[in-house]
Amino acid sequence: MINEIKNACLKAFESGEVGYIIGWQATRFADKTTPLFMRSAEDVEKLVWNKYCVNSTAKYALEDKYPEKKIGIILRGCDSRAVARMISDKQLKRENLYLIGVVCDGKEDPICATCSHKTPVIYDVLIGQPTTEEISPERFAEVEKIAAMTPDERYNYWAVQYDKCIRCYACRNVCPACNCVECYADQYRTGWQGKAHNRAENQVYGLTRAYHVGDRCIECGQCERVCPMNLPIMSQTRKMLKDINDLFGPTECGLTIEEAPVLGEYDLNDREEFM
């Protein structure tokens, strides 16, 4: 599999259209890889493809919105949905990207157990056999577990989690749906989000971010992977997705590049519960 990807990268460089390609490279630790930015044929040698390629490669393209040449990205299933997410949010232009899709074989990441799209949804060239996809029954297991608790138990469960949060904003910086130019949390003058590190401020941050990305979350699991304090962040956005599923019909985000998020739409015969 790795050679096919390397050939694809070399072919991309030969075509001359691609400035650099984002992939993974080994680190001194066997069980970790770090994103690799290949600029020329020699860099392609450093490319690795193993079960530790857990970093998402898609969001780095956001930092280079006006590239001279195309940006090449090696996409697993979830990365392709991240690219689709950013394109439909108009933050990336499809013509600036050269996408090398690789059918994913599942990585060392708990989210891969409930992955429903191992085959990339958007690519210029595809490597590997597309697999049949279906939504995993475990998708909302975590949400149902919390739903089974009483309100007080739920609050205490979350209070402990948000006591741990150190507000390093890694979950925001890795999330493809969090693609604002300037995050609300950085606009201290407006006063949405205080700077203090306490449970209440952390809860405000946690809930606000869940609401902001809830209807556009592509369930790539990066937020939970990067959180140094292992907070169950995915269960917040998945709660939103579960409600959207129940209320407005089955949804999976980041599958197409013109996707209308649910909160941007309305439907006259939505359920009426505020009469």
Q: Which of residues 91-130 bind other proteins (CB under 8 A)?
A: 91
Closer CB to other proteins, 89 or 252, in the complex: 89
Establish if 208 lies at the interface with other proteins (CB under 8 A): yes
Establish if 274 lies at the interface with other proteins (CB under 8 A): yes
| Whole-angstrom distance, CA of residue 69 vs CA of residue 17 | 6
Element (H, E) at 26: strand 18-26
- In the set 130, 145, 200, 256, which binds other proteins (CB under 8 A)? 200
Establish if 194 lies at the interface with other proteins (CB under 8 A): yes
Minimum gap (Å) between residue 126 Cβ and other proteins: 25
Placement of tokens 């359920």 in the chain: 271
Count of Cβ atoms closer than 10 Å to residue 127 Cβ: 20
Which one of the spans 74-82, 105-113, 121-129, 227-235 is the region binding other proteins (CB under 8 A)?
227-235
Minimum gap (Å) between residue 37 Cβ and other proteins: 5
Establish if 268 lies at the interface with other proteins (CB under 8 A): yes
Look up residue 62 and give its DSSP letter.
Answer: G
Establish if 240 lies at the interface with other proteins (CB under 8 A): yes
Establish if 29 lies at the interface with other proteins (CB under 8 A): yes
Distances from the Cα of 175 to the Cα of 50, 125, 180, 212, 258, angstroms: 22, 25, 11, 11, 19
- In the set 40, 131, 168, 256, which binds other proteins (CB under 8 A)? 168
Establish if 136 lies at the interface with other proteins (CB under 8 A): no
DSSP H helices, 138-184, are 141-147, 151-164, 170-174
* Sign of the dihedral through C-alpha 67, 104, 228, 252: positive
Length of the chain as a residue count = 275
Minimum gap (Å) between residue 157 Cβ and other proteins: 8
Minimum gap (Å) between residue 170 Cβ and other proteins: 4
Element (H, E) at 273: none
Establish if 245 lies at the interface with other proteins (CB under 8 A): no
Site for other proteins in 141-160 (CB under 8 A): 143, 146-147, 151-160
Which one of the spans 4-12, 115-123, 125-133, 256-264 is the region binding other proteins (CB under 8 A)?
256-264
Paired residues of 72 in beta bridges: 21, 98
- In the set 51, 145, 188, 256, which binds other proteins (CB under 8 A)? 188
The percent helix, strand, coil of the chain (3-state, each to 5) is 45, 10, 45
Placement of tokens 């990441």 in the chain: 109
- In the set 10, 48, 207, 255, which binds other proteins (CB under 8 A)? 207
Look up residue 80 and give its DSSP letter.
Answer: H
Closer CB to other proteins, 54 or 115, in the complex: 54
**3-class secondary structure, 118:** coil
